[in-house]
Amino acid sequence: MVHTESRPNLISSRDPLSAAGETRQTLVVLTRSSGYLTLRSGKVPSASTALEMDGYTVLRAVLKPPQVESLSADVQRVFAQYPPDVRDPDDGIAQMAPFRYEMLNRSALVQRAVGNPRILRTIEPLLGEDCHVIANTAWWQPPGNNEHLGRFWHTDAGPHIPRDPGVPWDPRIPYPIFAIAAHIFLRDCPLEAGPTAVIPGSHTSGQPPPIDRLADESLEWEGHSAVAVVARAGDVALFVSDIWHSRLPPGEDDPGRMFIQCHYGRRDIAQRIRPTTSVNHLTEDALARARTPRQQTLIGHHPPSFYDG
């Protein structure tokens, strides 16, 4: 059963985030002070704690109405100026029409938004201060549009630490997080819009969603049922790449959705803003020698997949 929470924040009650300030809590933090990632304890935004424990959080009123207005207009400009990015032959124009990739290359306003200090203060304790954007896509879906793979339970790549479901995670070890997605909302996203639903804690499962239940809205993990991440324009939802999530079916009064999606990854994870067919480290001779699919992937020439956008 999918539910929303009646509190002002959709995250747990331990996270009293507001536009005015953030309660800071102690968390084991990743830092890169000498070239290596190391651990330290320190005070961090409570949203960082929620991200580590629950796998998602919502930052309220990150953008002011004039910023939302300007970003929305610029996203519409990009949609008018650039055709849909069809990078996989199996994807048709119609399926890709609601998306535009590499947004930070196409919009200075988007580039500024994905570097918002509140977002960075939340994710850097988990990814390191040198984390970077690995993908950046704008979504503009008209009312009733739900024709994309995100309508089924999935993770954004991963699980990054796969393990047998019978092997519990040692609670003494902070659960590693490799990538975090942000949805920067440019329109209100109520339940009628078919928001993203997440299953709290599932990012620690070490498992993908059960393949026989990918369309099951009642899916749970360890007693946790799905939470619909409703939001207002200017809010930013963050979720760990490994969390089980899905778009919910839109309702009869679906207003459509518009948001900027940005994936942030650890420095060690390659950027996927453009496909490796157009951006790579390969010479023409090296490419010509790679004749089989495995020879091509071995040298870094990959087909489009997760994060490619």
Q: What's the pLDDT at 94? A: 72
- Residue 23 — left, alpha, or beta (φ > 0 → left; ψ -120 to 50 → alpha)? beta
Contact in structure between 249 and 147 (CB atoms under 8 Å): no
Over range 66-76, report the average pLDDT. 98
End-to-end CA distance of the chain: 31
> Residue 23 burial (CB < 10 Å; 0-12/13-18/19+)?
middle
Q: What's the pLDDT at 119? A: 98
Q: What's the pLDDT at 149? A: 53
What domains, with CATH codes, occur in the chain?
Answer: 24-273 (2.60.120.620), 276-309 (no CATH)
Nearest C-alpha neighbor of 246 from the set 199, 196, 208, 289: 196
More confident position, 79 or 157: 79
Joined tokens for residue 61: 């009123």
The string of pLDDT tens digits covering residues 191-249 is 999 999 999 999 999 999 999 999 999 999 999 999 999 999 999 999 999 999 999 99
Assign 280 to helix, strand or coil: coil
Sign, Cα dihedral of 178, 278, 258, 141 = negative
Nearest C-alpha neighbor of 44 from the set 18, 22, 64, 67: 22
Axis-axis angle for helices 117-127, 46-54 (nearest 10): 50
Q: What's the pLDDT at 210? A: 96
Contact in structure between 180 and 127 (CB atoms under 8 Å): yes
Contact in structure between 264 and 51 (CB atoms under 8 Å): no
Q: What's the pLDDT at 7? A: 29
Joined tokens for residue 234: 């200017």
The string of pLDDT tens digits covering residues 262-298 is 999 999 999 999 999 889 999 999 999 999 999 999 9
Q: What's the pLDDT at 34? A: 78
Over range 20-37, report the average pLDDT. 73
Q: What's the pLDDT at 89? A: 67
Which H or E run contains 287? helix 284-289
**pTM for this structure?**
0.90
More confident position, 280 or 90: 280
Write out the DSSP string of 37-101.
Answer: EEEEEEEEEHHHHHHHHHSEEEETT-S-HHHHHHHHHHHHHHHHHS-----STTS-HHHHTTEE-
pLDDT at 10 over 60: no
Alpha helix stretches (DSSP H) within 172-280: none
90 phi/psi in degrees, rounded to 5: -80, -15
Which H or E run contains 258? strand 257-265
Q: State which amino acid sits at residue 2.
A: V
Q: Residue 1's pLDDT band (boundaries 50, 70, 90)?
A: low
Nearest C-alpha neighbor of 129 from the set 141, 117, 112: 117
In the chain, the percentage of residues whose pLDDT exceeds 70 is 88
Averaged pLDDT of the chain: 88
Contact in structure between 160 and 55 (CB atoms under 8 Å): no
